[in-house]
Structure 1
Amino acid sequence: MSNFWVNLYKFPRFLINVLIGFFLTTFQPIFKLLKNRKDRLLGITTIAVTIVLFYRIIQIITDSI
């Protein structure tokens, strides 16, 4: 039974490591794109358009409620 509690105490550290690994592997290609000037402009434009699009969609949804 003590093994159960030891494993349970290790779970938060495991969860944090999994989340950090997920974000590092997700954003690593984005950081590689930001090294080149042309790709940087394309990436920033894409991110800006995505944020504006999500903002407008949420705004339309909340106005209809």
Structure 2
Amino acid sequence: MSNFWVNLYKFPRFLTSVFIGFFLTTFQPIFKLLKNKNNIVLFTIITISLISLFYKIIKIMTGLS
């Protein structure tokens, strides 16, 4: 039974390392792309467009328009 509590105690550290690893492996290619100035402009335009698109979709779906 003590083995269970030891594993339960280690779970938050495991979960934290999984999340950090996920974000690092996800965003590492994006950071490599952002070293070029042309890619920064393109990435910014795409990001702003996606955020505004999602905002408009959610606004229409909730009936706040």
Q: Tell which has more relative contact order, 1 or 2 (C-alpha 8 A, sep 6+).
A: 1
> Match of 1:53?
53
Provide the alpha-carbon RMSD of the alignment. Answer: 1.0
Which of structure 1's runs of 4+ aligned residues deviate more than 2 A?
A: none
> What residue number does 1:62 align with?
62
- Percent identity among equivalent residues? 66
The residue number in structure 2 matching 1:6 is 6
Gaps of 5+ in 1: none
TM-score where L is the length of structure 2: 0.93
SS at match of 2:35: coil
- How far did 1:33 drift? 1.2
The TM-score, its normalising length taken from structure 1, stands at 0.93
**Separation of aligned partners in 2, 1:38 and 1:26:** 21
